[in-house]
Amino acid sequence: MNRHRTMMILLIALVMVTVIAVVATSVLIFNRTTRENRAEILTNAARLAAGHIDGDKVDGWLRNGKDEDYETTAAILESILRNTPHLEYLYVYQILPDGCHVVFDFDTPDTAAGEFRELVPFDESFEDQIPTLLAGGKIDTMESRDTYGWLLTAYEPVYDSAGKCVCYVGADLSMQGVYDYVQGYFFRVAIIAAVFLIGCILIGMRLLTGVRRADAMDNLIAQQKRDKELTREIIEAFAKVVDMKDKYTQGHSSRVAKYTEMLARELGCDEDEIEKYYNIALMHDIGKVAVPDSVLNKPGKLTDDEFELIKSHTARGYDVLETISIMPEIAIGARSHHERPDGKGYPQGLKGEDLPLVARIIGVADCFDAMYSNRPYRNRMNFDKVVSIIKDASGTQLTTDVVDAFLRLVDRGEFRAPDDHGGGSMENIENIRKGEDKKPEEPAS
């Protein structure tokens, strides 16, 4: 008995070490590959731009001013800037001992362009490279944190017909973008690895339970109970990780799971079903780990593209959870909790009875918590107004039988917070199911 237990523990430990090593190696390789790819994009953009600049005319432009050739070249360079993926800045400087003289520069959404002939001081991060630049030599792509932020920079010399370097094309991209991209990859890989490890642990526990079946039945029952408790604890831990990622909705997953449990019990579900629905609700927002922090925690109004990215958390959550065979329905809550009985939800546009029961229940619980919870940008809504909105949404945005169960519980004094003695925001919400569009005037779910 002890031999089997020891072997199983060693096997699980070996699997965990292997998975952690694979994840770490994968992220390191992905990070290096991403940086190399972005550096290549920068270098190619700088070279392309340098190839369109007539080096014999640069000194004349700086002495005499712009002409028709200058304007034509500026248009080509701006086209390169606008059409090169990830490229943030593109500029042309003549490097002299007194600093950088602007030949070409272009406005970006965050930074105004330098004026033609303007003198730009050397950044401290380029101090070691100044002698090489003054000599007209080439420098390697470099990373810096200075006046214009955290950047990866490539410099390409421009030569005149005599072979003299007359200026440099500078190309920059944001390292914060690279960091966010790699971080998103890490979260996806880590979640997949963690789910795999959970499966290995649970399988191992089941195998150990099978070995113990030769023992008394009470030992088997006790082991199954511990398995359930461990599953619950692991799922709750993952739910906390999801809520920690979204600073606007701390504790949201746990509250939605509690409300889902209350509604399932009121709808007559048995205890096993209630426990299963509770776990499903805990994981309904797991897809948010794949949404960049810059979008998920954006304090202002989202763009259409950002809103579509937020909405994608339903499909991404389903992709992460669908392979968990010991609880196949756990992925349903993640994918379908924003579906509507009138067919106007997402991602599948399910309608009526096509909506799984657990998704209908989570839909009501999710909407209630979105409105009846404090957020950094607003206080919770008035309880009676929340109830009124949910009642009005019955049959269109929310399923009638679940709303009826919710109203019965409200009549019995449930759902209202113990510290709620009236008050709360009376602000109107145009669409209570637009739960992911975090505007200051709308709730986020």
Q: pLDDT tens digit string along 101-137? A: 999 999 888 788 889 999 999 888 788 889 999 999 9
Considering the domain architecture, whether residues 137 and 276 belong to the same structural domain is answered as: no
160: closest CA among 49, 78, 43, 59? 59
**Based on the structure, what is the number of domains in the chain?**
2
Q: Which residues of the chain are modeled with pLDDT < 50?
A: 216, 430-445
Tell me if 291 is assigned to some domain.
yes
Rounded-to-integer distance, Cα 39 and Cα 45, Å: 10
Look up residue 354 and give its two tokens.
Answer: 């096509």
244: closest CA among 187, 189, 201? 187
Considering the domain architecture, whether residues 268 and 378 belong to the same structural domain is answered as: yes
CB 94 within 8 A of CB 109: no
CB 353 within 8 A of CB 335: no
Question: Tokens 């920068």 belong to which residue?
Answer: 42
Rounded-to-integer distance, Cα 32 and Cα 36, Å: 6
Query: Among 132, 162, 177, where does a domain finish?
Result: 177
pLDDT of residue 103: 95
Burial of residue 369 (number of CB atoms within 10 Å: 0-12, 13-18, 19+): buried
Tell me if 443 is assigned to some domain.
no
Contacts of 15 (CB under 8 A, 6+ apart): 197, 200
Q: What SS3 state is found at 107? A: coil
Considering the domain architecture, whether residues 130 and 256 belong to the same structural domain is answered as: no
Q: At what angle do helices 304-311 and 313-321 cross, to 10 degrees?
A: 20
CB 198 within 8 A of CB 323: no
Tell me if 15 is assigned to some domain.
no
Is the pTM value of this prediction over 0.75? Answer: no
279: closest CA among 254, 303, 301? 254
Q: What SS3 state is found at 274? A: helix
Q: pLDDT tens digit string along 17-59? A: 787 887 788 778 877 888 888 889 899 999 999 999 999 999 9
Tell me if 225 is assigned to some domain.
no
Contacts of 71 (CB under 8 A, 6+ apart): none
Considering the domain architecture, whether residues 167 and 305 belong to the same structural domain is answered as: no
- What CATH number is associated with residue 33? 3.30.450.20
Cis preceding linkage at 157, omega within 30: no
- Residue 404's domain spans which residues? 247-411
Tell me if 223 is assigned to some domain.
no
Rounded-to-integer distance, Cα 354 and Cα 81, Å: 48
Q: What is the dihedral of CA 224, 229, 230, 233, to 10 degrees?
A: 160
CB 304 within 8 A of CB 257: no
Mean pLDDT across the chain, nearest whole number? 81
Considering the domain architecture, whether residues 257 and 337 belong to the same structural domain is answered as: yes
Say how far residue 100 (Cα) sits from the centre of its chain. 39
